[in-house]
Structure 1
Amino acid sequence: MPAVSSVLVVGGGAAGSAAAILLAGSGVAVEVVEARPGGLDAGSGITLQGNALRVLRDLGVWPAVQGAGFAFDSLGIRAPDPAGTLVAEIPDVRTGGPDLPATLGMHRPVLARILLERAADAGAKVRFGTSLTGLRQDPDGVDVELSDGSSGRYDLVVGADGIHSWTRRAIGIDTEPLGTGMGIWRVYVPRPAEVTRTDLTYGGPCYIAGYCPTGEGSVYAYLVEDAQDRSGLTAAEQVAVVRDLAAAYHGPWDAIRESLTDDTHVNYARFESHLVEGDWHRGRVVLAGDAAHSCPPTIAQGAAQALEDAAVLAELLSGGGAGELDELLRRYAERRRERARQVVDASVQLGRWMLERTPREQADVPGLMRRVSALVAVPA
């Protein structure tokens, strides 16, 4: 018997929608409130490692994800030279198991739509354009107020509302993400035929120039630079900056650059990271995903860690019993914290080596990646 009968999930991203699917499937009455409007059409691409795919398979969405994305099993390294020379092709570890690809890229809004539709099919009620504005809890439940003027009472609230979580602050956890010193430009454009996996270029005007195929006809490309204030740029100026930075990179980058137009949507974000120490809950409100921990995308584990949070939380709640909630939530954080810490630390360390121009013989990137792969190959 589940430890709770009713749950409000705040946030319809990877952690929130996955938790909703699993909890609703175990017989819990679940509602999801998502602040974004129903279209969920903003965003570029997402890279999903094997451990993320393992959870997506358990959620029952792997066929849809596989059909919408682009799977591959290796990583390319290119030189920042006039030819964009491929200098290495490295087999990727299948951290989700031998029956899943090592990596899959897809359009982030498509993943969000697949997960939320699955949550609705599992019985969860999903409301878009709605956010949490107030909560009060007592030993028996949580009373909430929502931005659409409605209110409700639930056995548990799951705060999966992102890196700058309102829920985290509302329950008195003062951990906030800190910048790591890098910023990333992202564009979502037609896929050149020769792009069949992620290729990374280190050096040139950017720390990293990379791309990931997200479907038969699409790719998302990204350029990582020193963090700076880019907020005052117009949309056309943002595209111009991307063109300028990308001019130093060749091979498939030539076609990517040529596909940019003044109307191309550009996303710019600063790398941030944090980890909530101790318990991830206060009373009957618990955090998951980026609300509890975040890392820069240098090893592409953000969504995977969010999905793992949801899987562990739902496993404990679905198999628990009345009167055990506080202990179950404590065990959830204990199971997830150190694994998330190692991923966060590795992601930040990789960026720090680049920022500090650490000599290659001192920056053990292969060793770091092996440790992360070994860690996440074991189910959470």
Structure 2
Amino acid sequence: MSKPSLVTKVLVVGGGVAGMAAAMRLREQDVAVDLIDIDPNWGVYGTGITLSVLTLRALCDLGLADEIMAKGNCYDSFVLCSQAGDVLAKMASPRLYAPHVPAEGGILRPVLHAIMKSRVLAAGAEVRAGLNMTELSQDGAGVDVLFSDGTRSRYDLVIGADGLFSKTRSMILPDAPLPRFTGQACWRALFDIPAGWDCGRMFLGDRVKLGFTLCSPDKMYLYLLEHVPNNPWREKAQLPGLLRQLMEGFGGEVARLRDTINEDTPILYRPLESVLLTDRWSVGRVVLIGDAVHATTPHLGAGAGAAIEDAIVLCDELASGQSVAQVLADFERRRIPRASLVVNNSLKIGELEMSAAPKQQQAALISASLVAIAEPYR
């Protein structure tokens, strides 16, 4: 059992990784938790998620190491390949959590969601799906909330973990920066792992670079970043043909996989948007975490991990602070610089890609960023 928290009843808005991490940690401190999610099914959409050294460590800090290793795909290195498919280098990553836990890897998004969802429910959090927050008002002692079903409740703290288009953010910080389109879109597609592949791979092409993250014992997902300055709308029926075109010119296993893409291939296409708040993440007894305040691009595979770090650090502060005001001030002091590093470096890598900067310059920033995100966060 963790140390007792400064609060006894908390509302968590949003049932993604940030909200679930907060709920799990708060329940360890015996805090009563209501978690609401706007999705009536409390589900998740997507293919896989890259577990960078930062993200895997954060998930392990939540106590999920065994399930992640069993249901995901974890490894200690990363292979860099040419457009033709030749191996250029194999780079090792440090084991940050424990000697028996690999450094990085991947997991299917629905699988990770199911793991965390099960933990939240088992911990005793009250979950209400298909619900949002329509009004809030607060005084020095608590926050009164009106929900979309007409019910009301009062909380010691409200945690807004409701993502890129956070309604909580618009309620407490109406003048905060809004999400902006970055100029890139991310393609993802699911494939079987080829024989002999035991870790992630990235292929450096003339026009685009693409990579593969192993995310289950037998599946991997492709990620490909495209420069789309006009942010065009793409119909679902167009996706297989467009993805095959983007993969033209790659040889080896990538060429073989490209030829298997058809209308039945699970493909996701998403324009990349980002937001970063650098002044404050809280007002009174309402605090924002995760994508609500630092939605990043996937260049470092650190978005989900940084959100989980937020939840862990916030709950650490609640267990040691003397007042909610001081806790939230200390939380922001600890988290804003680290989240800013993740977002700004990820955006800069994307800018270098879009401007076709020398590969050595891109590699140098990626390497420096990976070293930085491996630093302790607690």
TM-score (norm 2): 0.92
One-letter amino acid matched to 1:349:
K
Distance apart, 1:61 and its partner CA: 1.8
Alignment-derived partner of residue 48 in structure 1: 51
* CA spacing shift, 1:347–1:314, aligned 2, 3 Å: same
Alignment-derived partner of residue 207 in structure 2: 205
Count the aligned residue pairs: 374
One-letter amino acid matched to 1:56:
L
Alignment of 1:64-75 (within 5 A): 64-75=67-78
Alpha-carbon distance between aligned partners in 2 of 1:39 and 1:273, rounded to the nearest angstrom:
23
Alpha-carbon distance between aligned partners in 1 of 2:339 and 2:44, rounded to the nearest angstrom:
28
Where do 5+ consecutive residues of structure 2 fail to align? Answer: none
Distance apart, 1:139 and its partner CA: 2.0
Alignment-derived partner of residue 341 in structure 1: 340
Alpha-carbon distance between aligned partners in 1 of 2:9 and 2:177, rounded to the nearest angstrom:
28
Alpha-carbon distance between aligned partners in 1 of 2:267 and 2:133, rounded to the nearest angstrom:
29
SS of aligned partner of 2:358:
coil
Alignment-derived partner of residue 188 in structure 1: 190
Distance apart, 1:228 and its partner CA: 5.0
Alpha-carbon distance between aligned partners in 2 of 1:59 and 1:205, rounded to the nearest angstrom:
39
Alpha-carbon distance between aligned partners in 2 of 1:375 and 1:212, rounded to the nearest angstrom:
19
Alignment-derived partner of residue 138 in structure 1: 139
Distance apart, 1:27 and its partner CA: 0.8
SS of aligned partner of 1:176:
coil
Question: What is the RMSD of the two structures over their aligned residues, measured on CA atoms?
Answer: 2.1
TM-score (norm 1): 0.92
CA contact (8 A) 2:143 2:285 kept: yes
CA contact (8 A) 1:50 1:100 kept: no
SS of aligned partner of 1:221:
strand
Alignment-derived partner of residue 367 in structure 2: 369
Alpha-carbon distance between aligned partners in 2 of 1:41 and 1:161, rounded to the nearest angstrom:
13
Distance apart, 1:349 and its partner CA: 1.6
1:16 aligns with 2:14: no
Alpha-carbon distance between aligned partners in 1 of 2:40 and 2:336, rounded to the nearest angstrom:
32
Deviates more, 1:262-271 or 1:7-16: 262-271
Alignment-derived partner of residue 28 in structure 1: 31
Alignment-derived partner of residue 238 in structure 2: 237
Alignment of 1:55-204 (within 5 A): 55-81=58-84, 84-173=85-174, 174-204=176-206
Report Cα offsets for 1:69-91 as digits up to 9, x if no partner. Answer: 0011111111112xx22222111
Identity %: 35
* CA spacing shift, 1:42–1:229, aligned 2, 3 Å: farther
Alpha-carbon distance between aligned partners in 2 of 1:39 and 1:306, rounded to the nearest angstrom:
18
Alpha-carbon distance between aligned partners in 2 of 1:233 and 1:89, rounded to the nearest angstrom:
35
Alignment of 1:307-318 (within 5 A): 307-318=308-319
Where do 5+ consecutive residues of structure 1 fail to align? Answer: none
Alpha-carbon distance between aligned partners in 1 of 2:38 and 2:127, rounded to the nearest angstrom:
11
Distance apart, 1:360 and its partner CA: 4.0
Report Cα offsets for 1:170-206 as digits up to 9, x if no partner. Answer: 1125122222221111112332234322211222332
Alpha-carbon distance between aligned partners in 2 of 1:301 and 1:337, rounded to the nearest angstrom:
15
